[in-house]
Amino acid sequence: MPESGPPLTLVLGGGLAGALLALLLAQRGLRVQVLERRADPRQQVQERGRSINLALAARGIDALEFAGLMPAVRPLMMPMRGRQLHETDGSQRFLSYGQRPEEEIYAISRHALNCALLDAATAHPDVTVRFGQRCVEVDPITGTLVTEDEHGRRRREQADVVLACDGAGSVARRTMVEQGLCDAHEDWLPHGYLELTIPADADGRHRLAPEALHIWPRGGHMLIALPNPDGSFTCTLFLPHDGQPGFAQLRDPGTVETFFRDQFPDALALMPALAEEFLANPVGRLGTVRTRPWHAGGRLLLLGDAAHAIVPFHGQGMNCAFEDCRDLARCVETHAGDWPTLLPVFEAQRRPSAEAIADMALENYVEMRDTVRDPGFALKKALAFELERALPELFIPRYSMVMFHPEISYAEAQRRGARQDRLLDELTAGHQALEEIDLAQAVRRVRRQLADTVDR
């Protein structure tokens, strides 16, 4: 097995976090090598059925701006201003995400974003990316790892530090667990996901309003659709693996079409290749990974999904992984690249936020598939906007804190959100409409009861 060159920083995984991290570290004077198991995505067509587009929000944008990448990324972004709810009877309702013009999130192609990040990383003279290199072993104590290429050829790599961005199924995490260096808990949801397409119309235009994330909430399951720049929508069906309805039960064109006719009739009308796609695409698993600690031996760190994969219902996994990259780059600056010192500092800083967004993402699943239909939910949301207008320093709806306020950590958003929610419950109790609520009194109560929740 050949030894590689002199010590350097190894980034394992050239996905979303790995590519951004490599660039950020090179910008701070480090020599970085990225090892990625797949072929170069810039020379491939995009994979079928694996979270083709994602929601990018302010936290991710903040980290991309920190790396100077927004000029390359902005043209890829499709704005979404709110949720367009589709009922079974075909009626639709729009619920705005925020109340200021800039309070929108953006659909973006995973493939296009990954290619843009890799373009920027590989353009830096201190970054090399080797594709087709699957890591099969990591030694957290010595900082060595072994990769295998498509021909089964193995190669040993030695580094100052290994930064593992190898995703939810991380080999680095598995090794740390096997060696007793960390605990990892994986909680899988009973629901899986499957991706489908609403193609563009004959003129290449979107068949649904493009500036929204479309949701068909049905209680125990839901369908969502995010717009693509080519006029299509990528839809994701979230459904239990077993039970009725469940993926296990939908095995032929007849049952698939009957299910859609029953549950999502307006979407069915827009999906000419539904059954074919449904039966060809994989059903993905959804889970939360909680790991402790994220680092070992002063030479290995897990970040992004490798450390803390979360369910996708707040659209924050990538956004959180990008914040990890930005914060690690800042730690490298502050601690002059002293890895044994900075790895625990980084983890102490990021862990509370990663744990908070994992919980909030799980809560948001219930909101998206169920509570969003509840009139009480709409009333609380309307009152929350009123309170934010009156007291923007003191009251920001939790969804807005997570999606539009990167200066508020996820942990603080969770803490403030819990207090706000209790107050909203009290203020809306027994009311059906905003006009029934004494707003002046509500504002006074917020001032009195929430003044101490804000970190100054």
**Contact flag: residue 140 with ligand FAD (CB under 6 A):** no
Coil/strand/helix, residue 330: helix
Cβ at position 393, least distance to ligand FAD in Å: 27
Site of tokens 């969804």? 399
Question: CB under 6 A: which stretch of 74-82, 318-326, 430-438, 448-456 binds ligand FAD?
Answer: 318-326
Which of 8, 13, 112, 162: binder of ligand FAD (CB under 6 A)? Answer: 13
411: Cβ contacts below 8 Å, ≥ 6 apart: 352, 353, 355, 356
Q: How far apart are CA 427 and CA 441, in angstroms?
A: 9
Distance, first Cα to last Cα, the chain: 55
CA distance 252 to 239: 16
Query: Judged by CB under 6 A, does residue 247 bind ligand FAD?
Result: no
CA dist., res. 53 & res. 328, Å (int): 26
Interface residue with ligand FAD among 15, 49, 143, 406 (CB under 6 A) is 15
CA dihedral 447, 432, 365, 205 (to 10 degrees): -110
As separate numbers, helices (DSSP H) first and strands (DSSP E) second, the chain gives 15, 19
Kindly state whether residue 304 participates in binding ligand FAD, applying the rule CB under 6 A: yes
Answer yes or no whether residue 166 interacts with ligand FAD by CB under 6 A: yes
Per CB under 6 A, 67 contacts ligand FAD: no
Residue from 8, 9, 11, 14 that binds ligand FAD (CB under 6 A)? Answer: 14
Which helix (H) or strand (E) element contains residue 197? strand 183-198
Q: How far is the CB of 253 from ligand FAD (least distance, A)?
A: 24
Q: Which amino acid is at 50?
A: R
Tokens standing for 136?
């099969």
Q: Check residue 192 for interaction with ligand FAD (CB under 6 A).
A: no
Contact region with ligand FAD (CB under 6 A), list: 64-72, 80-88, 311-319, 440-448 = 311-319
Shortest Å distance, C-beta 16 to ligand FAD: 4
Please state the closest distance from residue 247 (CB atom) to ligand FAD, in A.
14
> According to the binding rule CB under 6 A, does residue 255 interact with ligand FAD?
no
Q: Which span sits near ligand FAD by CB under 6 A: 63-71, 83-91, 301-309, 353-361?
A: 301-309
Do 451 and 411 touch, CB atoms closer than 8 A? Answer: no
Contact predicate 63/323, CB 8 Å: yes
Secondary structure element (H or E) that encloses residue 59, with its range: helix 58-66
Does the protein bind ligand FAD through residue 214 (CB under 6 A)?
A: no
108 binds ligand FAD (CB under 6 A): no
Q: Which of 13, 291, 323 is nearest to 145 (CA)?
A: 13
Exactly one of 8, 10, 11, 12 binds ligand FAD (CB under 6 A); that residue is 12
Residue 157 near ligand FAD by CB under 6 A: no
Least CB distance to ligand FAD at residue 178 (A) = 14
| Residue 63 sits in the site that holds ligand FAD (CB under 6 A) | no
Contact with ligand FAD (CB under 6 A): which of 9, 10, 18, 221? Answer: 18
Residue from 305, 323, 347, 388 binding ligand FAD (CB under 6 A): 305
Question: Closest approach of Cβ 440 to ligand FAD, in Å?
Answer: 39
- At residue 284, what are phi and psi to the nearest 5 degrees? -90, 155
403: phi then psi, degrees, rounded to nearest 5: -90, -30
Q: Which of 98, 192, 317, 406 binds ligand FAD (CB under 6 A)?
A: 317
Distance of CA 120 to the CA centre of its chain: 21
What Cα–Cα distance (Å) separates residue 359 from each residue in 119, 184, 327, 353, 402? 34, 16, 21, 10, 12
| Residue 288 vs 428, nearer CB to ligand FAD | 288
- Is 130 a binding residue for ligand FAD by CB under 6 A? The answer is no
Q: 346 by DSSP, 3-state: which?
A: helix
Site residues for ligand FAD, 265-284, by CB under 6 A, read: 284
Give the whole-angstrom CA distance, residue 38 versus residue 36. Answer: 6
Six token digits for residue 195? 């991706």
Kindly state the smallest distance separating residue 383's Cβ from ligand FAD, in Å.
Answer: 27
- Going by C-alpha positions, the residue among 265, 227, 291 that lies closest to residue 80 is 227
**Least distance (Å) between residue 59 CB and ligand FAD:** 8
- Interacting residues with ligand FAD (CB under 6 A): 12-18, 35-38, 51, 54-55, 134-135, 165-167, 171, 193, 236, 284, 304-306, 312, 315-319, 321
